[in-house]
Copies of this chain bind each other. A is one copy, B any other.
Amino acid sequence: MRTLYQPSRDELNLATVLHALSDEIRLDIIKSLAEKGEQYCNALEIQAPKSTLSHHYKVLRESGVTHTRLEGTQRFVSLRYDDLNARFPGLLSAILKELGVKQYQS
């Protein structure tokens, strides 16, 4: 894929974001990203086939929960913490707290 669709801050939709976050695997990804900061996909060590992971990364990216940056053969993924916090104040913090994330790593 050449261009990655990523919605702007204004385009973030609550139902879409909540849906993206309503899956255990995707919550695992979010937790890792919050704890480790920006990572390339493989570094997250989520236990699942890569095509399955790719699907979940896509759902997260297209909902606007994560940002993906291309660098070489890798895709660096990060939480759109500021955008989410601006658009839905308190939402992400509440979720990270439940996931047991002590300190958000930018």
Contact = CB atoms under 8 A, between A and B. Distances in A.
Interface of A: 14-16, 18-19, 21-24, 27, 87-91, 93-95, 97-99
Contact of A18 (B22, B87, B88, B90): B22
Contacts of A89: 94, 97
Contact of A21 (B18, B27, B98): B18
Q: Main SS of the interface on chain A?
A: helix
Contacts of A23: 15
5 contacts: A14-B95, A87-B98, A88-B94, A88-B97, A90-B91
Contacts of A24: 15
Contact of A93 (B19, B22, B87, B90): B90
Contacts of A99: 14
